[in-house]
């Protein structure tokens, strides 16, 4: 028998043995994972089934096998499966059990991460919106109402997936408890409650683990769970595991999320990570017998309304979840893929016989499609609610979409007046008597504008879109619509008519049957057209060019492709060919602004993910005059990259904090800060979910997207860095959201900053 035939035979046997009679354990004495008693290094590929069209599931799994992976890692997304309370759906695109069986079919093991919170840059971190109908609920806590719903959901997950654990002959070898809880808070009793729920749902014999960062994993570490670390490209691997090695010197080591790239946010530059650093980190782990899961191996697409938002502040994520991963958004291997494959094949000759599969469909450019039918936004309305004060979407039992808040101004104003909507969640187009006045944008902290002079009886309208709910940090209780009073000229405005526009394909279709569809150019509303696939225009993957449109969503044959927004950096939407019909196809666009020109959409053969458009509104851009401020502390920063704390000599009050970066350790370096916290008099962080960037001197985009928001994004692996060659000192101004009594600063530098001064106001 030839060597190749022997390998083929062994691979066939391996695939068959991922079926029955297998065992898996975390050997905490020998310091290794064991599969059927033998040491086993987990090489996992993170994939998310909702981000991959079901017809493409098997192809993406095959791509991971050909890469040299032996395991698939996945989240279970609660809000996908329980869209309305008490109604569960694990069918079709939601059939996570079938996704696991496909992995097993190809000889791959599975790690399941059932939350209940998952983060993942996903709407509300996977938590269902209807939890927010409880006005006082505390998410990710021992709040009985929350845990009761968690138990109900996890029991359903258990019905689907517990029969597929390794002890039952299935591929599931590990199950995670909660997710990165240390970045949210310290409540080990809550984590223990989730652990018990997961065990009781049928995962009582499989290995359970919890993941966190090296800086915070001790906050919630449970003695009976395996501990794993999350970190990304460019990290010092040995340092990330140093503390874990001290506490558990014989535990198996695993990086449960090794970040291959990063996610994009609307209005910010496209994110990438170097292939060399990614591959070097994985090679380093393999050389030391450390297991890993590559997050993401294939990111895919946050179709529909499922893209979330980051915090502090409010930073909504784009639709594409390409993530600069080894397998790109539409399933094609990148340079990262082949470079990583060469490393994984060194120790896994069986993968050499798994050829990289061809994509299911080719990529082609669809011809231009004119959307000749038009329907106004109000034609899709389901109801109008009358209320003395503004109500949130959740209070009106709407999870996703937009609403028109309308009220009458009772008094004449001979001069301009201020409109203030501090609770604008998240984007609003303001009109007065049908005339467009301006735009509010929570992402840029623009929540007020000037209204022109007007007569009594003028009609004020705010078209408010709720974008993705925050998926990270303490701000996940992110209600939509208007969450505060609306203030005009210093007084609350009362007596509102609120017209609901739910985000649903069925409502978009209904809009065209409810009105005359004669097109109105360049107006907000719904646009519809058709195109044909035939022998000339074959069914293929394509990318819809949305650069000539404003802001909205797209459906093709009822499939929600996701959000677009002219501010970029994403200017296209991925249209999988499996969503197309042979013959006629329907395309509907909901645009909250209106197209710039004729309502035409063309297909491209490549996506545009890195082109910023003109921002609608800008953040503050005035450099503060330092002579008007008081220096309250000088900070001598050590050369390391560990958290450092600096205390004021006495407590002071302030809302705005200026960090004046004065010196660097190495000439030519630019000052950089990974994370910044302002602390109170007890040394506790003043709520970072309310921080926003008020001003920054410069930002570096030559070595990555190192913008100022990275200094307060709660992500230790990202950073703000001043522009290369920028003249020192460099200023960074943080708005704490309100005045606080301040006791000092906690700083996570990157090794370049040597000294800084703190000013307060």
Confidence at 26, pLDDT banded by 50, 70, 90: very high
Measured CA distances, 274 to 235, 346, 499, 561, 612 (Å): 12, 21, 47, 29, 21
Give the H or E element holding residue 169: none
Which SS3 state, helix, strand or coil, does residue 624 take?
Answer: coil
411-422 pLDDT, tens digit per residue, is 999 999 999 999
The residues annotated with a catalytic role in the active site are 180, 257
Give the CA-trace dihedral at 739, 745, 748, 750, to 10 degrees: 100
The answer to whether residues 590 and 549 touch, using CB atoms and an 8 Å cutoff, is no
pLDDT digit string, tens, across residues 526-580? 999 999 998 767 899 999 999 999 999 999 999 999 999 999 999 999 999 999 9
Residue 145 banded pLDDT, cuts 50, 70, 90: very high
Q: How many CB atoms lie within 10 A of CB 509?
A: 18
Band (698; pLDDT cuts 50, 70, 90) = confident
Burial class (CB in 10 A: 0-12, 13-18, 19+), 543: buried
Contact 255, 247 (CB under 8 A): no
SS3 of residue 165 by DSSP? strand
| pLDDT of 256 | 98
Q: Enter the DSSP assignment of 132.
A: G
Structure tokens at 33: 């994972």
Query: Binning pLDDT at 50, 70 and 90, where does residue 317 land?
Result: very high
Average pLDDT of the residues in 667-681: 91
Q: Which of 497, 502, 499 is nearest to 387 (CA)?
A: 497
d(CA 281, CA 260) in angstroms, rounded, equals 10
Under the banding of pLDDT at 50, 70 and 90, the label for residue 518 is low
Please provide residue 286's backbone torsions phi and psi, each rounded to the nearest 5 degrees: -60, -40
- Over residues 455-464, the mean pLDDT reads 97
Average pLDDT, the chain: 93
The span from the CA of 49 to the CA of 58, in Å, is 10
Per-residue confidence (pLDDT) for residue 20, from 0 to 100 = 60
State what percent of residues in the chain have pLDDT above 70.
95
Predicted local distance difference test score (pLDDT) of residue 349: 59
pLDDT at 737: 86
pLDDT for 521: 61
| Distance between CA atoms of residues 649 and 173, nearest Å | 53
Alpha-carbon separation of residue 246 from 211, 239, 242, 651 (angstroms): 17, 11, 6, 37
Residue 701: CB atoms within 10 A of its CB come to 15
Residue 193 confidence (pLDDT) above 50: yes
Q: Is a pLDDT exceeding 70 seen at residue 706?
A: yes
Summarize pLDDT for 323-372 with one digit per residue, the tens. Answer: 999 999 999 999 999 999 999 988 765 555 689 999 999 999 988 999 99
Query: Predicted confidence band at 235 (pLDDT cuts at 50, 70, 90)?
Result: very high
Query: Within 13 Å of residue 533, how many CA atoms lie on the same side as its CB?
Result: 18
- Comparing C-alpha atoms, which of 730, 693, 687, 731 is closest to residue 709? 693
Question: CB neighbours of 625 closer than 8 A, spacing ≥ 6?
Answer: none
- Could you tell me if 212 and 256 are in contact, meaning their C-beta atoms sit under 8 angstroms apart? no
Please compute, for residue 703, the number of CA atoms within 13 A of its CA located in the half-sphere on the CB side. Answer: 13
| Cα-Cα-Cα-Cα dihedral sign, residues 544, 548, 552, 557 | negative
Domains of the chain: 41-304+313-353 (3.20.20.80), 377-502 (2.60.120.260), 517-604 (2.60.120.260), 626-760 (no CATH)
pLDDT number for residue 28: 93
**pLDDT confidence of residue 738:** 87
Q: How confident is the model at residue 746 (pLDDT cuts 50, 70, 90)?
A: very high
Give the residue carrying structure tokens 């001069």.
415
Count the alpha carbons within 13 Å of 666 in the hemisphere toward its beta carbon. 9
Among 37, 10, 42, 9, CA closest to 25? 37
Q: What is the pLDDT of residues 213-224, one digit of tens each?
A: 999 999 999 999
Q: How far apart are CA 660 and CA 686, in angstroms?
A: 20
> Residue 353's pLDDT is what?
66
pLDDT over 70 (residue 18)? no
**For residue range 471-484, what is the model confidence (pLDDT) as tens digits?**
999 999 999 999 99
The answer to whether residue 375 scores a pLDDT higher than 60 is yes
What pLDDT, in 10s, does the model give residues 678-687? 999 999 899 8
């Amino acid at each position: 028998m030839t060597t190749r035939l022997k390998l083929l035979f062994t691979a066939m046997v391996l695939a068959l043995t991922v079926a029955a009679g297998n065992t898996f354990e975390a050997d905490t004495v020998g310091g290794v994972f064991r599969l059927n008693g033998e040491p086993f290094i987990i090489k996992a590929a993170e994939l998310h089934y909702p981000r991959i069209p079901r017809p493409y599931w098997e192809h993406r799994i095959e791509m991971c096998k050909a890469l040299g992976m032996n395991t698939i890692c996945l989240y279970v997304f609660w809000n996908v499966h329980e869209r309305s309370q008490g109604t569960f759906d694990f069918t079709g695109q939601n059939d996570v059990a079938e996704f696991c069986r496909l992995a097993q079919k190809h000889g791959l093991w599975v790690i399941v991460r059932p939350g209940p919170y998952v983060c993942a840059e996903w709407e509300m971190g996977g938590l269902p919106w209807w939890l927010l109908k409880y006005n006082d609920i505390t998410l990710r806590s021992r709040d009985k109402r929350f845990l009761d719903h968690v138990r109900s959901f996890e029991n359903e997950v258990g019905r689907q997936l517990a029969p597929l654990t390794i002890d039952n002959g299935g591929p599931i070898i590990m199950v995670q408890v909660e997710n990165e809880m240390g970045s949210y808070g310290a409540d080990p009793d809550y984590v223990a409650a989730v652990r018990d729920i997961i065990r009781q749902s049928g995962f009582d014999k499989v290995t359970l683990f919890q993941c966190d960062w090296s800086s915070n994993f001790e906050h919630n570490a449970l003695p009976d769970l395996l501990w794993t670390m999350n970190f990304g490209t460019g990290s010092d691997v040995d340092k990330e595991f140093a503390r874990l090695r001290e506490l558990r010197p014989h535990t198996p080591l695993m990086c449960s999320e090794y970040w291959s790239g990063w996610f994009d946010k609307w209005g910010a530059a496209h994110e990438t990570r170097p292939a060399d650093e990614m591959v070097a980190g994985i090679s380093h782990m393999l050389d030391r017998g450390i297991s890993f899961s590559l997050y993401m191996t294939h990111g895919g697409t946050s179709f529909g309304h499922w893209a979330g938002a980051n915090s502090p502040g409010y930073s909504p994520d784009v639709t594409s979840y390409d993530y600069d991963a080894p397998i790109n958004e539409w399933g094609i291997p990148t340079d990262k893929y082949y470079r990583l494959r060469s490393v994984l094949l060194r120790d896994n000759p069986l993968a050499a016989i798994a050829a990289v599969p061809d994509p299911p469909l080719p990529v082609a450019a669809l011809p231009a499609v004119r959307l000749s039918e038009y329907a106004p936004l109000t034609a899709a309305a389901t109801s109008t609610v009358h209320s003395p004060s503004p109500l949130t979407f959740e209070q009106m039992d709407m999870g996703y979409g937009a609403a028109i808040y309308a009220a009458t101004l009772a008094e004449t104003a001979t001069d301009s007046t201020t409109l203030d909507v501090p609770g604008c969640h998240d984007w609003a187009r303001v009109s007065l008597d049908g005339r467009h006045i301006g735009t509010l944008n929570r992402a840029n902290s623009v929540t007020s504008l000037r209204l022109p002079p007007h007569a009594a009886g003028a009609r004020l309208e705010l078209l408010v879109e709720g974008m993705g709910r925050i998926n990270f940090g303490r701000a996940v209780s992110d209600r939509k619509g208007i969450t505060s009073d609306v203030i005009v000229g210093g007084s609350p405005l009362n007596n509102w008519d609120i017209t609901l526009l739910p985000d649903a394909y069925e409502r978009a279709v209904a809009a065209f049957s409810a009105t005359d569809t004669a097109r109105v150019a360049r107006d907000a509303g719904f646009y519809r057209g058709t195109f044909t696939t035939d022998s000339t225009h074959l069914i293929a993957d394509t990318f819809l060019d949305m650069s000539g449109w404003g802001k909205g969503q797209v459906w093709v044959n009822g499939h929600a492709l996701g959000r677009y927004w002219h501010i970029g950096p994403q200017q296209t939407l991925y249209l999988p060919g499996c969503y197309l019909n042979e013959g006629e196809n329907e395309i509907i666009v909901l645009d909250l602004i209106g197209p710039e020109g004729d309502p035409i959409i063309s297909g491209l053969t490549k996506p545009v993910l890195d082109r910023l458009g003109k921002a609608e509104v800008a953040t503050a851009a005035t450099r503060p005059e330092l002579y008007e401020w008081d220096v309250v502390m000088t900070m001598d920063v050590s050369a390391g990259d560990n958290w450092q704390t600096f205390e004021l000599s006495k407590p002071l009050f302030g809302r705005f904090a200026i960090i004046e970066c004065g010196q660097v350790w190495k000439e030519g370096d630019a000052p950089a800060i990974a994370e910044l916290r302002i602390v109170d008099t007890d040394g506790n962080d003043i709520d970072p979910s309310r921080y926003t960037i008020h001003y920054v001197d410069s930002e570096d985009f030559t070595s990555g997207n190192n913008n100022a928001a990275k200094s307060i994004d709660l992500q230790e692996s990202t950073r703000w860095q001043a522009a290369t060659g920028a003249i020192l000192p460099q200023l960074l101004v943080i708005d704490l959201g309100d005045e606080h009594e301040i006791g000092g600063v906690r700083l996570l530098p990157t090794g370049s900053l040597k000294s800084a001064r703190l000013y307060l106001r």
